[in-house]
Structure 1
Amino acid sequence: MWKCDKCGREFKNLNQNHFCDEVVNSIDAYIAEQSDDIQPLLHQVRDTLRAVLPDAQERISWRMPTYWRKHNIIHFAAFKKHIGLYPGDKAMEHFADRLTEYKTSKGAVQFPYSKPLPLELIAEIAQWCYQTNNHH
């Protein structure tokens, strides 16, 4: 067990990423909470999603940056070794053949920091979720 010196919460993993129970209420605040080397990558994902989802609202949902228009369209989040993208299970099925080099689960994909971000693919996934109403 590891205990955060700042908030006193205990975690199973050493130096686990968390928000010290502070409510992060904007994507700007979420990105600012991350390490300096991860922030540029999060800005790249955000800029990509903003470009392809201009009518969507930015918000924090499930403690993650989220793009919303009547429903959650897509989420993303920073973790210790990757950026997670959460487009939902239908998108994961639709794009499965293009995500084979990444770790995936039913509704999410992990983009490791050790590889360049596939921003065009992220844009396509977000557009597909929005256009098909397959929201997360």
Structure 2
Amino acid sequence: MITTKPNDIDEYIAGFPKEIQIILEQVRATIKKAAPDATEKISYAMPAFALKGNLVYFAAFKNHIGFYPLPIVDEALKKEISVYKTGKGSIQFPLNQPMPLGLITKIVKYRVQQNLKPKEKK
């Protein structure tokens, strides 16, 4: 487990046991495929992707992968996410279940659409 702030996502992932590294790489690859123009970074000491603003973050914990797509307002996605433990802007994917890569893809594509949508002027 990481005790210092990593410089990049490779360094972050390398700080975990092999079985967790595999899951983190799957999540990372899924995000990259769903948002190929997004850039990787470390933010809040977590792996993050940005595309015209923050897109998603993810992090490994003892019993789950935390996924942080910021608040989701799409009702269909909210329904799919509801089977997982959630908080404001966060979802916990348990490590003892298959990682829902299809759902992660849908969420990332949704976030890309949100970020690329022209902002409304106040």
Regarding TM over 0.5, the answer is: yes
Runs ≥4 residues deviating over 4 A: 91-94
Is 1:51 the counterpart of 2:33 in the alignment?
yes
Larger Rg, first or second structure (1 or 2)? 1
Q: Report the residue type matching 1:70 in the other structure.
A: K
Q: Could you tell me whether the CA contact under 8 Å between 1:92 and 1:108 is conserved in 2?
A: no
What is the CA distance between 1:70 and its match in structure 2? 2.7
SS class of match (2:18): coil
- Match among 92, 97, 100 for residue 115 of structure 1: 97
Q: Sequence identity, in percent?
A: 43
Aligned pairs, number: 116
Equivalent residue for 2:5?
23
* Structure 2: tracts of 5 or more residues without a match: 117-122
Q: Distance in 2 between matches of 1:129 and 1:107?
A: 12
Which piece of structure 1 moves more, 64-73 or 87-96? Answer: 87-96
* Structure 1: tracts of 5 or more residues without a match: 1-16
Richer in helix (by share): 2
Is 1:32 the counterpart of 2:14 in the alignment?
yes
Q: Distance in 2 between matches of 1:124 and 1:101?
A: 15
Q: Normalising to structure 1: TM-score of the pair?
A: 0.79
